[in-house]
Amino acid sequence: MRTIQFREAVCEAMSEEMRQDEAVYLMGEEVAEYNGAYKASKGMLDEFGPERMIDTPISEAGFSGIGVGSTLVGTRPIVEFMTFNFSLVGIDQIINNAAKIRQMSGGQFNCPIVFRGPTASAGQLGATHSQAFESWYANCPGLKVIVPSNPYDAKGLLKSAIRDEDPVIFMESEQMYGDKGEVPEEEYTIPIGKADIKREGEDVTIVSFGKIIKEAYAAAEKLEEEGISCEVIDLRTVRPLDYETVIASVKKTNRLVILEEAWPFGNVSTELSYQVQEQAFDFLDAPILKINTADTPAPYSPVLLKEWLPNSEDVVKAVKKVMYK
């Protein structure tokens, strides 16, 4: 199987869907002439032309609204944000329009739109460019939220998102665009709402998603050397969330650690903790532990940023705590 970059997987997914369906188009800042801020749409302007590859002004509220409105006349837009931090400027269009059109029209209209771009921290970018909004969007009924962690998942899930009849929030990472992984040349899709067991284990379940899951992999490798077997689950989709896969794993391992790059109050790991204790309380041999960022805006200082972000050592400590070691 060939190996390609994350950005190439995203580009392939969009290009393949645009070839199959003329209603699909891409819109956002620098997506066309510049080949995308992160080169995730490289070469697409040459193939699809300016009518389907649309460079926009710096106005997230404006082009988000145009995208939502265009779905009502039969299009299937992909709206790219240079970062999801900038989506806050257009969040009214996403929350109050895209997410509610189907219900408020009594089912007369759906809104098949994908909002995609980078989420969370990406190095020294400061507090206003380093925020994770997965749980914000997942809190809103009517939206689906996908956060892939590798090229294979990114391509398969993005193709499913573009074909979906509901609005989908598709969150990537600036620090993953250069990541390489095996991706089939033949067409494939991955169903939305299905988690993936990336590593099987017996002693403790570690759940994560997005780029921070790399810290879970590193921790699992280290713990294996100490005789602790970790099962690592990549949620991939945080709405709908695959509770069944997580709960089945917890019933096997009897312990759960959740790693999420997000502020600690009211996030995805909080919701998952509640569901597991409600549905599998008698199987737990230790309290559920969740690992998040510090409860502050992201610092710019590299020394402080290192302390702010969760890392593999935090995961190792949490696993040993639930193992009573």
284-296: string of b/e by CB count within 10 Å (b at 16+)?
Answer: beeebbbbbbeee
Confirm whether 60 is a catalytic residue.
yes
| Catalytic residue selected from 8, 129, 134, 261 | 129
Q: Could you tell me if 289 and 310 are in contact, meaning their C-beta atoms sit under 8 angstroms apart?
A: no
Spatial neighbors of 122 by CB under 8 A, at least 6 apart, are: 83, 129, 130, 173, 174, 175
| Lookup result for tokens 């935090």 | 314
CA 32 to chain centre: 23
Beta strands 230-234 and 256-259, pairing class: unpaired
| Catalytic residue selected from 8, 17, 29, 60 | 60
**Tokens read off for 108:** 């007369």
Which residues are annotated as catalytic?
60, 129
